[in-house]
Amino acid sequence: MATVYYDNDADLGVLEGKKIAIIGYGSQGHAHALNLKESGCDVRVGLYAGSRSWKAAEEAGLRVMATADAAAEADLSMILTPDTLQPEIYREAIAPNLSPGKVLMFAHGFAIRYSQIVPPEDVDVIMVAPKAPGHRVREIFPEGQGVPGLLAIYRDASGNAKALGLAYAKGIGCTRAGVIETTFKEETETDLFGEQAVLCGGVTALMKAGFDTLVEAGYQPEIAYFECVNEMKLIVDLIYQGGFSYMRYSVSDTAEHGDYTGGPRLITEETKAEMRRMLQEIQDGTYARNWILENQAGRPSFNSIRESERNSLVERVGRQLRSMMSWLNAK
Could you give the CA distance from residue 89 to residue 171 in angstroms, rounded to a whole number?
A: 25
227: nearest Cα among 237, 216, 219: 219
Whether 105 contacts 18, CB under 8 Å: no
Query: Would the pTM of this model clear 0.85, i.e. be above it?
Result: yes
Strand partners, 63: 44
| Catalytic residue numbers, as ranges | 108
Q: Please, which pLDDT band fits residue 88 given cuts at 50, 70 and 90?
A: very high
Mean pLDDT rounded to a whole number for the chain? 97
| DSSP characters over 96-150 | GG--TT-EEEESS-HHHHTTSS---TTSEEEEEEESS-HHHHHHHGGGT----EE
For 189-198, the pLDDT digits (tens) are: 999 999 999 9
Report the DSSP pairing between strands 63-66 and 4-5: unpaired
> Other C-beta atoms within 10 Å of 69: how many?
15
Q: Is the dihedral of CA 200, 203, 208, 211 positive or negative?
A: negative
How confident is the model over 59-74, as a mean pLDDT? 97
How confident is the model over 218-244, as a mean pLDDT? 97
Domain segments of the chain: what residues?
4-182, 192-322
Could you give the CA distance from residue 168 to residue 35 in angstroms, rounded to a whole number?
A: 10
For 198-230, the pLDDT digits (tens) are: 999 999 999 999 999 999 999 999 999 999 999
Superfamily of domain 4-182: NAD(P)-binding Rossmann-like Domain (3.40.50.720)
295: nearest Cα among 92, 87, 79: 87
Q: Is the pLDDT of residue 9 over 90?
A: yes
SS3 268: coil
Whether 238 contacts 228, CB under 8 Å: no
Whether 322 contacts 330, CB under 8 Å: yes
Could you give the CA distance from residue 297 to residue 291 in angstroms, rounded to a whole number?
A: 10
